[in-house]
Structure 1
């Protein structure tokens, strides 16, 4: 019989022994000849929605492993009778995943403060201030109807009342024709150009034709747009910088790749049953 001090020491030693080494290649189950690894389980967990990934570990483990066992069993059935369509789809899925993974890693970088400042200055150049306009309009279907409204305004007619009664743009018409503040790039070109050429307080002397009809415009005011504070749009700028870097890398890698397109193929060949799915 062990003396108590020796027994206690052995028990403590057992408790502190390191667990067996476990890595991505650790096999957690085997379905016939297919191995399911710890790495595959971990990859599956990363792709789960948050509500599932947050489940207690034992429940999540059993759920995922059961799913992967069923998947492995059915995959063997599918592989035993693999078709041309299956082979093509697997190649597409592999390419799509690898490309996505490469782009995801590329987009993980953190832009420097200088890069963020440069993106801000590019979006809101100090030497090119943007003007905002406050205008109302009455939209009519015909030029004659628009000219009639202009004539009534010239006789002292109330713009807001005429907008409510006559404008086919019912959204702004209910508000007396009010369009609020806007930049000209948000409007159709004809309307934007007309507003930008008008004096404060002026009303259209002639109808302005656009794809929507004939506009009678009242220009209320204009102002230089105040750019947002950098701190308020910092996150958006970071995402923009990342997108631009990813797009530039795609262009660079594609340009450097050796691409050989087979000449002479008729695009109409896609209308043929090249995968034999019609006979499956």
Structure 2
């Protein structure tokens, strides 16, 4: 089945790419609606609406083709599909079930899109969400550190001795660090708990600003770490998190709408406790 779909799609794509331009007509364009018929196959109409819907499934690259090429290519593709589908006397079980699933999915998606267009997040919603999220905000200490990464403990100790002799940390990092931050003088910028490997973080939290660590071994090698400064960040302003909160609230409202629909439906769940979930891998149940 998948091979047949691929064959039909490939043939249609060839038609799309090779389709000649439609003849130019200088007369006034006809009034067109979604129900305007462009072809009939064995008594079944193909309409502009069918073509518009199919165009939406094209890749961005194919959508960039000239309108005339797309129009003729899609018409030929729809004619092919309709002719082949009408030649089928009986649809197999797998196809029937796939059509049922896809129809349900498309209708559900249409309903969800309609619901989504009606959802509004107000300033009151945003302020309430902000207040709830940050009312009990407790700042977590963040660190600004630099490091010099070398391959051995001996090399790390030699770096420390050089620094104790008055060498500039950033200059030594640029010269000797094997890590990507070496080019920036070893600077790692600001980071919080959990953002560095445990051994590195454990070393950082024991330092005072301006202090340099003993050699620290991690999976990356040996580090000499300098703590530059620490800070306790304040809660962000509403303007800083507006976009994130708005998205969260919008999704919450949409889920609530969907849950309301599901809860209103009459659903009878069968007892599936005796069914092995692996049965879903058994394609023979729908292909025999």
Find the residue that maps to 1:70 and give its secondary structure: helix
Structure 1 stretch displaced more, 255-264 or 46-55: 46-55
CA distance in 2, matches of 1:146, 1:248: 57
1:191 match:
200
1:180 match:
189
Structure 2 vs 1, CA of residues 24 and 179 (structure 1 numbering), >3 Å: closer, same or farther? same
The answer (yes or no) to whether the contact 1:141–1:213 under 8 Å persists in 2 is yes
CA distance in 1, matches of 2:197, 2:261: 38
TM-superposed deviation, 1:141: 4.9
Find the residue that maps to 1:199 and give its secondary structure: coil
TM-superposed deviation, 1:271: 5.4
Structure 2 vs 1, CA of residues 142 and 119 (structure 1 numbering), >3 Å: closer, same or farther? farther
What is the 5 A alignment of 1:101-250?
Answer: 101-108=110-117, 109-121=119-131, 127-129=137-139, 131-141=141-151, 145-169=155-179, 171-192=180-201, 194-205=203-214, 207=216, 209-225=217-233, 230-231=238-239, 234-247=242-255
The answer (yes or no) to whether the contact 1:201–1:221 under 8 Å persists in 2 is yes
The answer (yes or no) to whether the contact 1:84–1:275 under 8 Å persists in 2 is no
Find the residue that maps to 1:263 and give its secondary structure: coil
Structure 1 runs not aligned, ≥5 long: 1-18
Find the residue that maps to 1:219 and give its secondary structure: strand
CA distance in 2, matches of 1:117, 1:49: 41
Find the residue that maps to 1:264 and give its secondary structure: coil
1:205-232 deviation digits (Å, cap 9, x = unpaired) = 452x545444322111233446665446
CA distance in 2, matches of 1:268, 1:110: 42
Q: Highest CA radius of gyration, 1 or 2?
A: 1
1:5-24 deviation digits (Å, cap 9, x = unpaired) = xxxxxxxxxxxxxx99x976
Structure 2 vs 1, CA of residues 276 and 126 (structure 1 numbering), >3 Å: closer, same or farther? closer
1:81-139 deviation digits (Å, cap 9, x = unpaired) = 53333223323323432343343333331211122223444565573335443210123
What TM-score do the two structures reach when normalised by structure 1?
Answer: 0.65
Structure 2 vs 1, CA of residues 60 and 271 (structure 1 numbering), >3 Å: closer, same or farther? closer
What TM-score do the two structures reach when normalised by structure 2?
Answer: 0.64
Structure 2 runs not aligned, ≥5 long: 1-29
Structure 2 vs 1, CA of residues 196 and 33 (structure 1 numbering), >3 Å: closer, same or farther? farther
CA distance in 2, matches of 1:97, 1:23: 22
TM-superposed deviation, 1:178: 0.9
Find the residue that maps to 1:184 and give its secondary structure: coil
Find the residue that maps to 1:68 and give its secondary structure: helix
Query: Size of the alignment, in residue pairs?
Result: 255
Confirm whether residue 87 of structure 1 aligns to residue 108 of structure 2: no
The answer (yes or no) to whether the contact 1:138–1:166 under 8 Å persists in 2 is yes
1:74 match:
84
CA distance in 1, matches of 2:59, 2:281: 38
CA distance in 1, matches of 2:207, 2:134: 25
